[in-house]
A = this chain, B = another copy of it.
Amino acid sequence: MASVDERIKELQDKIKALKVAKQDASKEVEEMKALKAQQSKDKKDGPAGFQLKVPKGTIDHKPAAALLRKKIFATLEGIFAKHGGEVIDTPVFELKEILAGKYGEDSKLIYDLQDQGGELCSLRYDLTVPFARYLAMNGVTSMKRYHIAKVYRRDQPVMSKGRMREFYQCDFDIAGTYDPMVPDAEILYILIEALTALDVGEFTIKLNHRKILDGIFELAGVPADKTRAISSAVDKLDKLPWADVKNEMTVEKGLDEAVADRIGEYVGLKGKGREVLAKLQADEKLNAIASAKEGLADMALLFDYLEHAFGVLDKISFDMSLARGLDYYTGIIYEAIVEGSAPPAAAAAASGAAAPAKGKKAAKGANVNEDGVDESTVGVGSIAAGGRYDNLVNMFAEAAGSKRDKVPCVGVSIGVERVYAILEQRRRAEAAKPREKETEVFILSLGKEGLLPERMKLARKLWEAGIKAEYQYKAKPKAERQWAQAADDQVRYVAILAPAELEKGVVRIKEQGVERAAGADNGEEVSLDNVVEYLKARLR
């Protein structure tokens, strides 16, 4: 109880001082009341001084989960490095003003650090803004970079749906002025390569282009100031029927019905292959709009690269209903959808999905999409997303008063938490107990001597050869306890030390989890001189 009492005393003193200064002490009073209430509750409940828990919306990644995440990261890092990616590692907090004005109404979800004197800082909300800040600050005009790190959003957590306040993002971006669609094609190739390597199941990349979408809005007659609001309504077409979306456009957002109908003629178009592209290219009215014409030329070139050079066009679906929420996209936009990743609750929650939570938006890669629909509640889950953003870096450079050339960027963010959920779900379905450590050899002793120094010596021999080995930290461990530990940890080989064998200079090696005729397997006798070679040959 001491620390609560101390804190109360501290607060009382503080309140006294504040009263002298005639300042408002309501926050401190409130905190003191809460602490006092907790204290009297604790007195009733028992001697508990505080709860042992992690902050709301965060979790400890326990060993099996942390190991699986590490494997996901290693797979992605391998792919990113293969494409010349460089890694940068930025601070977990940025100056508050760096994040200001980048996330619209979501800015309220930013975690601020307390003002303890000095600069005002906030925890990073995504990895894109720190990347743009890095480029602008260092005057870097071209870079391929990847960054895998945690980001922070003070959102209402729904842990069962994987919506957390601390979660990993995994971004690959290409910055620089290049020929059209060359980096864009490679980003899409990388995304396809990554999802294939992660083995998340069948997936499709939904692809669209902001300039074509804007061209359609222009052609349909959407007033310029309504473009983004109408765009966000269009983006809901994967969850809502056209009638509902049209209703949002006309009733909620005040669009003319005739304008909405003209939009409706286009945004239903989608499909794999070149059919949608061909149809739009043949549309003379649309091609008369400059922005649409540019977007269509981009798409034609991109399709050529994806089909003829990279051979991955079959993964792409041109989808005119994909709009994405973030304002900063200026070119192609995309989202990867895993077909088999609908969570069990999808059907039950389908009706709920029609009522977007108020004011929720999210950047690329989060579970909650930009119109507030938590995609883990709908039939098809987005597992990665991104697009081209040609102006963000310059926003920083300009705001800081330095005049620089444009630094166009295209990037993708892979939803690691979603990938993890899919792989973990599959593992559970297979009912396999996950490994928590990678130990390859468990050294045990038989007989009452315990043979601790001998176990240590053998362990050292194996460690020096790079073999992962453990033994029990007991001078005289029980045989059954040692076997149980080897089995629990799913260690493949057990090295058995016993006085009789040691005298002969041998150790018995037994492979675990291998079915053999009863009594037929007491392991193989291996000379201590050859044991490293013997095990290495079997482990590698």
Contacts and interface: CB of A to CB of B under 8 A. Distances in A.
A437 B61 CA distance: 30
Interface stretch (A378-386, A422-430, A452-460, A493-501): A452-460
23 contacts: A3-B101, A3-B399, A31-B118, A46-B402, A48-B399, A48-B400, A50-B97, A54-B137, A55-B93, A56-B119, A66-B88, A83-B469, A84-B489, A92-B150, A114-B115, A176-B473, A178-B472, A178-B473, A185-B456, A189-B460, A189-B463, A309-B452, A309-B457
A113 B112 contact: yes
A51 B136 CA distance: 11
Given A66-B88, A308-B453, 17 more contacts: A20-B21, A21-B23, A27-B115, A52-B136, A52-B137, A53-B95, A54-B90, A59-B91, A60-B88, A60-B89, A62-B138, A63-B87, A81-B437, A81-B438, A81-B468, A111-B116, A189-B460
Contact of A66 (B49, B89, B438): B89
Interface residues of A, number: 118
A438 B91 CA distance: 24
Contacts of A138: 60, 62
A94 interface: yes
Interface in A59-92: 59-63, 66-67, 69-70, 81-92
B50 A399 contact: yes
A58 B48 CA distance: 38
A436 interface: yes
A49 B401 contact: yes
A474 interface: yes
A106 B56 CA distance: 26
A60 B91 contact: yes
Interface string A124-148: 0000000001101110000011000
For A17, A46, A166, A186, the residue with the greatest tally of chain B CB atoms inside 10 Å of its CB is A186
B86 A179 contact: no
Contacts of A439: 84
A91 B186 CA distance: 34
Interface in A20-63: 20-23, 27-28, 31, 42, 45-56, 58-63
B55 A91 contact: yes
A63 B86 contact: yes
A475 interface: yes
B86 A460 contact: no
Contacts of A154: 116
A261 to B, nearest CB: 37
A534 interface: no
A513 interface: no
A456 B305 contact: yes
B50 A3 contact: no
A241 interface: no
A132 B28 CA distance: 30
A242 interface: no
A89 B432 CA distance: 22
A136 B48 CA distance: 13
A183 B82 contact: no
A182 interface: yes
B179 A474 contact: yes
B470 A84 contact: yes
